[in-house]
Amino acid sequence: MLAPPSSRQVLAEQLAAHGYLVDDALAMSVFLALRMQRPLFLEGAPGVGKTLLAGVLAELFETRLIRLSCYEGLELSQAAYEWNYPRQLLALQAHTHSQASEVPPPRAATPAGGATAMIDELYREAFLLKRPLLQAIDAALGRAPVLLIDEIDRADEEFESFLLELLGEFQITIPELGTLKARHRPIIVLTSNRTRDVHDALKRRCLYHWIDYPTLATEVEIVRRKVPGLAAHLRHHVVAFVQRLRREDLSKLPGIAETVDWAEALSHLGSTVLEPATVDATLGLLLKYHDDIEQVRGDRVVQLLVESA
Amino acid sequence: MTARGEMDVMGDDIEHAVVGLVRALRGAGLPVGIEQSESFAQALAWVDPMVRREVYLAARATLVSRREDLAVFDEIFAAFFGGPRVPKAQATPLAPRHDRSAFVRTALVAYMAERPEPNAREVEVPEQDKAASGLELLQRKDFSNCTPAELDAIARAMRELRFDVTLRISRRLVRARRGGRLDLARIVRAAARRGGTVVALARRRRKLRHRPLVVLADISGSMELYTRIVLQFLHGVTQHHARTETFVFGTRLTRITGQLQIRQVDAALAHAAREIVDFAGGTRIADCLHAFDRLHARRVLGPGAVVLIISDGWETGDPARLDAQMRRLAERAHRVVWLNPLLGRPGYAPEVRGMAAALAYVDDFLPIHDLRSLQALAVGLGRIPRRKGARSPWRVRGSLGHPRTPIVHAIHPAHAHPAFPGRRGEP
């Protein structure tokens, strides 16, 4: 599929066909982002499928997924572009050698004229290394790619300001070369786990969406698709248990991926009903902190199983 | 989905409705910019404006830019377009000030009540030498024994102190004269300008950054005698150190960072007092730390954060819970400093329920009872080691230490809690 969908319902069906289930609010946000050609800013707890959405969009539009994972200290040189310094130095050296072999020109002529020519020579596209952000607007691409800027909250605040031009204008200005503008506007998805607040200027250029944990019905459907081997009644109980667990006071709540992992483990174990002993033994697939496991294991599991049955 | 024709308003005048909704949202405090309202208008071209649900979803997708605004948005939208209201249970609790009447405010209120007129203090200017000698005497006077006038003098002296927290090395690179690594971008550019000869090697090094500073201050009844100075201290630190987050607690936690950013100290404290609601009496440190962990820690405990807890450790809740909460905090923070005014009293030992439980996770346990202890704090904050769990920058004996109490030795976490994994060195 190449054209943007005609309505959010169509989009939701297409995403579902690729294994990604959305509620109508998320469907609307994605639909509008595609239609209005605006970046989509996804915030939410870890494990609700923020990153996955970008991959599914790339599949849906049969296009490339370009991914930039953010971290502290991320710079323009790794995110957007860098000059190929070794090659530039080689070119410089070749240039000086060729000059040396020639008859030395009159002394006054060299510095000014030679330097500008030299700079033009060195800062050409041939010496440019394209990093993810520049790749995403590269005119050589046949169609718009999906650009995923993952966990923007991990990058420094300074980095956000680099992004403003790209998110607002779909262009990147390189001082030595000029402004490169996207011929096909990329589909941009930004994600944040909200470890810090992202600047308003950045959010203003995007459509914001908070992804919550899925509803019981949606999550049951996700598990049905991912783990077809699990019996229907067990599937329901598994999801209900996880959803109940998310209301507990824990350091890290289980995400959708954890639910699926756990369901898969239970199907491998050949379980037919959820036994407290099995749950205790496999709790590590749902909870990733020792304290959380200690808090839930045993009596609390029994209680939660009854409540979620 | 709702039937067509329900939304007469939209059918008649879309523009009018957009403007009206945006205005209502701004009135409720949502940051809706011009870009957003334009986006909303644009979005309406892509959905059916006659269907309420579609308009709602489009508005939500374009006008809301923070999670915490979603509940308010739902209410405003419902109020604006009529129709079924959002179930009350889903709405987020309103800010504390809305249900203030039910609570009695404690120490802070007492403090605010006895404050002289804001200007009075500035008018009275003590003679230089007299003030100096007075300060000399005040150096070691416990805050709880000071008269209001003495406390004012101490507060003034406190403003001279610089609470600079050590910097941490970030992963970001900046230009440097020497050291670090080569900056090829600059080397090539300079060489090109000189016709191809590399003349000097430009360099880059890691950038130094301020550490986030988080202050959690106990303002419950048992701290009453110190609250006055503590609040002045909070204001001073928040003003001085750009990355400070300030919280006060008794039985519940309140963030007052925003209020303390007001420059004028009395105005700032007056604003803060308006936010703080608390039951008189007990301290639920564990509950408050828990609230901090769930609501704020992810955001404010950035890399290399230093946490100051100001409390006498008089926990009325379960000490076991405090143990767990302190452990969480110590795992996430670069350094946890506990400031206890009672530590200034000769012979004090941290036997209070809670204080003993918390100590295992505290890097530095220091008094905060006189001017001298504040000065020592200021010096030590500037010497916080780069390695997590490293030896205390506050000297064990000397101007500050209390040789009778073995506490300072006992708290070195690596020794105090061998099973505790969070105290590794960090880069």
CA torsion, ordered A174, A175, A178, A182, to nearest 10 deg: 20
Q: What pLDDT is attached to residue B15? A: 80
Structure tokens at B230: 């503590």
Average pLDDT, chain A: 89
Average pLDDT (B72-83) is 85
Give the Cα separation of B47 and B40 in Å (integer). 11
**Chains A, B: CB contacts under 8 A, how many?**
121
pTM given for the model: 0.75
Binary contact (A36, B170; C-beta < 8 A): no
Q: What pLDDT is attached to residue B299? A: 83
Q: What pLDDT is attached to residue B91? A: 39
Is pLDDT of B127 > 50?
no
B179 DSSP 8-state letter = S
Q: What pLDDT is attached to residue A65? A: 95
**Contact (Cβ atoms closer than 8 angstroms) between residue B303 and residue A157:** no
Give the Cα separation of A120 and A219 in Å (integer). 57
Higher-scoring residue by pLDDT: A217, B90: A217
Phi/psi for A128 (5° steps) reads -95, 130
**Contact (Cβ atoms closer than 8 angstroms) between residue B167 and residue B334:** no
- pLDDT band for B3, please (50, 70, 90 cuts): very low
Q: What is the separation of C-alpha A213 from the centre of its chain, rounded to a whole number of angstroms?
A: 18
Q: What pLDDT is attached to residue A113? A: 57
ipTM given for this complex:
0.87
Q: What pLDDT is attached to residue B426? A: 39
Whole-number percent of chain A with pLDDT over 70: 94
Task: Name the residue in chain B with its Cα closest to that of A75.
Answer: B172
Task: Name the residue in chain A with its Cα closest to that of B55.
Answer: A28
Q: What is the 3-state secondary structure (H, E, C) of A161-181?
A: HHHHHHHHHCEEEECCCEEEE
Assign B364 to helix, strand or coil. strand
Average pLDDT (A39-65) is 94
In chain A, helix, strand, coil percent, each to 5? 55, 15, 35
Spatial neighbors of B135 by CB under 8 A, at least 6 apart, are B153, B157, B371
Spatial neighbors of B2 by CB under 8 A, at least 6 apart, are B51, B52, B53, B83
Whole-number percent of chain B with pLDDT over 90: 17
Q: What pLDDT is attached to residue B128? A: 46
Q: H or E segment at A83?
A: strand A81-83
All residues of chain A having their beta carbon less than 8 Å from the beta carbon of residue B33 are 204
Average pLDDT (B304-316) is 89
All residues of chain A having their beta carbon less than 8 Å from the beta carbon of residue B66 are 208
Angle at A268 between CA A265 and CA A270, to 5 degrees: 115
Q: What pLDDT is attached to residue B80? A: 85
The model's pLDDT over B5-56, given as tens digits with 9 standing for 90+, comes to 444 444 557 788 888 899 999 988 888 988 899 999 999 999 988 888 999 9
Higher-scoring residue by pLDDT: B278, A109: B278
- pLDDT band for A1, please (50, 70, 90 cuts): low
Instruction: Tell me whether A96 touches chain B (CB under 8 Å).
Output: yes
Q: Name the residue among A144, A149, A180 with its Cα closest to residue A63.
A: A144
User: Å from B55 to nearest chain A CA?
Assistant: 10
Q: What pLDDT is attached to residue A276? A: 93
Nearest to A25 among B57, B65, B189 (CB): B57
Among A51-55, A302-306, B356-360, the range scoring the smallest mean pLDDT is B356-360
Whole-number percent of chain B with pLDDT over 70: 75
Average pLDDT, chain B: 76
Is pLDDT of B405 > 90?
no
The answer to whether the Cα torsion of B133, B136, B141, B146 is positive or negative is positive
Q: What is the 3-state secondary structure (H, E, C) of B365-425?
A: EEECCCHHHHHHHHHHHCCCCCCCCCCCCCCCCCCCCCCCCCHHHHCCHHHHCCCCHHHCC
Higher-scoring residue by pLDDT: A70, A94: A70
Is pLDDT of B116 > 50?
no
**Contact (Cβ atoms closer than 8 angstroms) between residue A298 and residue A280:** yes
Is pLDDT of B279 > 60?
no
Is pLDDT of B122 > 70?
no
Instruction: Tell me whether B295 touches chain A (CB under 8 Å).
Output: no
Q: What pLDDT is attached to residue A22? A: 93
Q: Name the residue among A65, A44, A52, A46 with its Cα closest to residue A21.
A: A52
Q: What pLDDT is attached to residue B121? A: 42
Q: What pLDDT is attached to residue B101? A: 34
The model's pLDDT over A58-74, given as tens digits with 9 standing for 90+, comes to 999 999 999 999 998 89
Q: What pLDDT is attached to residue A188? A: 96
Q: What pLDDT is attached to residue A207? A: 96
Rg of chain A's alpha carbons, rounded to an integer? 26
- pLDDT band for B84, please (50, 70, 90 cuts): low
Binary contact (B185, A85; C-beta < 8 A): yes
**Contact (Cβ atoms closer than 8 angstroms) between residue A165 and residue A171:** yes
Binary contact (B39, A85; C-beta < 8 A): no
Is pLDDT of A183 > 70?
yes
Is pLDDT of B398 > 60?
no
Is pLDDT of B98 > 80?
no
Give the Cα separation of B246 and B249 in Å (integer). 10
Among A185-194, A252-261, B81-90, the range scoring the smallest mean pLDDT is B81-90
Higher-scoring residue by pLDDT: B197, A198: A198
Instruction: Tell me whether A108 touches chain B (CB under 8 Å).
Output: no
- pLDDT band for A31, please (50, 70, 90 cuts): very high
- pLDDT band for A267, please (50, 70, 90 cuts): very high
Q: Which of B 161-220 lie inside 8 A of A, CB atoms?
A: 170-173, 184-185, 187-189, 191-198
Is pLDDT of B412 > 90?
no
User: Å from B193 to nearest chain A CA?
Assistant: 5
Burial (0-12, 13-18, 19+ Cβ within 10 Å), B17: buried
Whole-number percent of chain A with pLDDT over 90: 62
All residues of chain B having their beta carbon less than 8 Å from the beta carbon of residue A205 are 35
- pLDDT band for B333, please (50, 70, 90 cuts): very high
Instruction: Tell me whether B421 touches chain A (CB under 8 Å).
Output: no
Instruction: Tell me whether A50 touches chain B (CB under 8 Å).
Output: no
Assign B164 to helix, strand or coil. coil
All residues of chain A having their beta carbon less than 8 Å from the beta carbon of residue B53 are 24
Q: What pLDDT is attached to residue A102? A: 60
